[in-house]
Structure 1
């Protein structure tokens, strides 16, 4: 394993970073454990919130520098990179504003009326964060922000292709005033991470990544009885049942598919369209996607850059070819030039086609025809994943009915790209467990201690 910045647009290796030694890794855990025993115990929620607020401010102050880093690391178009940095800053600010309320004592009404009872929230200790490359700042913010305010300390293992942004995030926490050990970045190998999870000083693990990585981490954590939060993959349905503006709906569908170069766990990936709208939607949707070309992510108005790596593009290429081999129709696209992948539309994906059960991480859309509402819900749920979903309809009652029927952790009705710092994020089935963001995200790694007074 090597940590390196490899520009996917050019293939050039810009800088490599050595992995941490076993001795230094033990030192990092020791620093985090000491910071938990000392700093976190001697500070108030308000004091820790002030530091987290400064972390958010530094993200915004350094937004251009931070954005340039992830454009180099994973090919995100510049405007989207700037937007991610701003969103990360907003998440830190949100938790600074609301942490005291989230952590206040919760009174419990006793049935016998004798005495009192309260649930008091407090930190667990050292947490391990294992973060992905697709949103290098945002993913860290939604894990680190609430947990540092709570008083947990963090050992952060970022993706191998994001070492520069990982270092920049650690520096921001130090510059904001956090003491040594409160937030520690480690360039660790997979084998080393197994030892971190097993370490008795580490009380919990949060992973955002692939299903395979999540299963491995959960297995190790389970052996050592560690709390885990898993944010894994998704193959989110975009269910179109009715619309009074097809062009606007199509544009929303396009935006939901190509955001972050199509590499978002909760992106719309399977478009399930009611029979009477199927043909006009497919025609307009395909035409819109065909207008979008994968270009240099630093180009002005770039909407689609390269995939995160050559390997990622090759994997997507293989998936598309296998889908066609199993009977899918390639309506548009399918071309690849290095890490640049053409916008692609597949139809006629049968239930026994492997593509119907896989996650396509890139600008590839599958379009399905649904006979009616019940059929649309059936197709939407015919996946091992259950992260997000999208429902478009002009019927309010139908919207709620379908939202209740969809097997997912999130349902967005008549809106896309509507994540917010205050909104819980997470899934069910093979998309993971636990929640991040909002008050639910702040409630994962806490000791909800009952204090019963007679």
Structure 2
């Protein structure tokens, strides 16, 4: 059985019977059959249904948000906001998919030559627990609008949310079988990728999971998109608006209880303002309310599992043993880990070198902007970076020096349906969202008429 356990109460709240090998095959066969008809539909027909999906999400945002909170501990206001964001991505692709995928005529010596964008077929999505709705919808909305079918292997701890996502598409009127949640464990992923009717795979998750999935996809010569971890730097220069940089900086690290690939995990402060900034930052973090994720004023919930809290506890404790200073926090109780600020950090400490997937920030100072860029780039990851400064031109002149998939100036790194999202280095490859994301799972076909 696959169980969902409430990380705040420890209570087993949902149980699911895993699919048999035969049932998995039958569901993929169904998706393949339905997709062959779905790809013939017009963008107008697809958009009508995708808009309806957005309506379903808005109508049920509180109920779906409550399930998210119970399954993985996200504070309820943030869980509801996540569902609302999913409605936005559905509306965005309903409005824009047709223009993104229209034939693109190119002048050559041919009588006519152009590029057309055709669906691939059935795409497997392997998704994590930290944003159980958003991670799926930012794949599903463009994939379905492009004429594909989707099968989902979600994290075992959020299987009720996974079923709810399938429910959204079915209630919106999409053909039954076009989007399906596969109730399976990780041990079945390889065989699903190897199924001849699966044409591509996308994964959001850890480096080991991404490496394993991409390896199987490569063996099968199938397209893969990976959105993996991050160790984002949050850089504050000495001319920054400190009040704004503090407000945004706290949110950038501690929202979703720090369980985000794009969270600001390394706080880099220019020496002249480091003390003043930290004083304000610590005071703001102290005011964050920890508690029951289902209470509306809770900002810090629990981590999704006690084991995750133990992992981050070890990273902090090992760093302290290496000489780091605990400025705030550092306590764990079950799956709860207190908001933590750690200073006197060196490059080799776990809290700086590794991804910390929880409410912990590592603080390091620098003398010059050039040094900050060097520190930021000193990571195996390359997902995103935030820089705070009033001298925007100076920052823009240095954007190309950052080894990241995204550079945000005077703002936290975030995903937006209108902009491509993804990283480089061990943060993955490929892009989600915008016109780039919808073109990841299409056949870019050259047509030439002499």
TM-score, normalised relative to structure 1 = 0.97
Query: Does residue 1:253 correspond to 2:242, yes or no?
Result: no
- 2:193 corresponds to which residue? 197
Q: Work out which of the residue numbers 158, 163, 166 in structure 1 matches 2:162.
A: 166
Pair 237,417 (structure 1): closer, same or farther in 2 beyond 3 Å:
closer
* Aligned mates of 2:333, 2:306 — CA distance in 1: 9
Contact 2:262 2:414 in 1 (8 A): no
280-289 or 14-23: bigger deviation: 280-289
Q: 1:14 to 1:260 in 2, by over 3 A?
A: same
> Could you tell me whether the CA contact under 8 Å between 2:238 and 2:272 is conserved in 1?
no
Matches of residues 310-325 of structure 1 in structure 2 within 5 Å? 310-325=306-321
2:408 is the alignment partner of 1:412: yes
Show the counterpart of 2:335.
339
Give 2:91's match in structure 1, choosing from 90, 93, 97: 93
Q: Distance in 1 between the 2:349 and 2:295 partners?
A: 37
Evaluate the alpha carbon distance shift between residue 152 and residue 76 of structure 1 in structure 2; reply closer, same or farther with a 3 A threshold. Answer: same
1:277 aligns with 273
Distance 1:244 1:315 in 2: 34
Contact 2:316/2:350 (8 A) holds in 1 = no
* Residue in structure 2 matched with residue 427 of structure 1 by the alignment: 423
Query: C-alpha deviations, 1:229-256, integer Å up to 9, x for none?
Result: 0000001000111345312211111010
Which of 120, 124, 138 is the matching residue for 1:124? 120
SS in 1 for 2:279: helix
Across the two proteins, how many residue pairs are aligned to each other?
Answer: 450
Give, in angstroms, the shift of residue 417 of structure 1: 5.8
Matching residue of 2:184: 188
Q: Secondary structure at the match of 2:162?
A: helix
Structure 2 counterpart of 1:73: 71
Q: 1 CA distance for matches of 2:313 and 2:80?
A: 29
Paired residues for 1:104-119 under 5 Å: 104-110=102-108, 113-119=109-115
Deviation at 1:300?
Answer: 2.8
Q: Distance in 1 between matches of 2:163 and 2:272?
A: 52
Structure 1 residue 146: Cα displacement? 0.7
CA shift, 1:322, in A, is: 1.3
What corresponds to 2:381 in structure 1? 385
Shift of 1:363: 0.7
Contact 1:266–1:388 (CA under 8 A) maintained in structure 2? yes
The aligned counterpart of 2:324 is 328
Q: Is the 8 A contact 1:403 1:411 kept in 2?
A: yes
Mapped contact 1:3–1:162 kept (Cα < 8 A): no
Structure 2 CA distance for aligned equivalents of residues 407 and 42 of structure 1: 41
C-alpha separation in 2, matches of 1:442 and 1:346: 40
* Alignment deviations for residues 87-114 of structure 1 (CA, whole Å, 9 cap, x no partner): 000000000000110110011121xx34
Contact 1:198 1:220 in 2 (8 A): yes
* 2:202 pairs with 1:206: yes
Once the two structures are TM-superposed, the CA of residue 64 in structure 1 deviates from its matched residue by 0.8
1:284-363 equivalent positions in 2, closer than 5 A: 284-363=280-359
Q: Secondary structure at the match of 1:425?
A: coil
Hey, what does 2:82 align to over in structure 1?
84
Distance (whole Å) between structure 2 residues aligned to residue 426 and residue 418 of structure 1: 11
- Other-structure match for 2:19: 20
Give the Å deviation of 1:325: 1.7
Q: Paired residue for 2:219?
A: 223
**Aligned 8 A contact 1:8 1:310 in 2:** yes
Report what 1:52 is aligned to: 50
- 8 A Cα contact 2:406 2:413, kept in partner: no
Give the superposition deviation at 1:180. 2.3
Looking at structure 1, the residues matched to 121 and 206 of structure 2 have their Cα atoms a distance apart, in angstroms, of 26
Could you tell me whether the CA contact under 8 Å between 1:214 and 1:232 is conserved in 2?
yes
Counterpart CA distance in 2 for 1:114 and 1:299 is: 65
SS at match of 1:277: helix
Please state if 1:365 is matched with 2:348. Answer: no
Partner deviation per Cα, 1:137-177 (whole Å, 9 max, x = no partner): 11111100011111111111111111111111111111111
Q: Work out the CA distance in 2 between the residues paired with 1:146 and 1:450.
A: 21
Gaps of 5+ in 2: none
Q: Does 1:157 align with 2:156?
A: no
Single out whichever of 22-31 and 247-256 deviates more from structure 2: 247-256
| 1:30 corresponds to | 29
Gaps of 5+ in 1: none
2-side partners of 1:206 and 1:41: how far apart?
20
- The RMSD of aligned alpha carbons is 1.2
1:243–1:249 Cα contact (<8 Å) kept: no
Which residue of the other structure, out of 130, 134, 137, is the alignment partner of 2:133? Answer: 137
Residue in structure 2 matching 1:238, options 224, 234, 244:
234
Q: Is the 8 A contact 1:121 1:447 kept in 2?
A: yes
1:103 aligns with 2:98: no
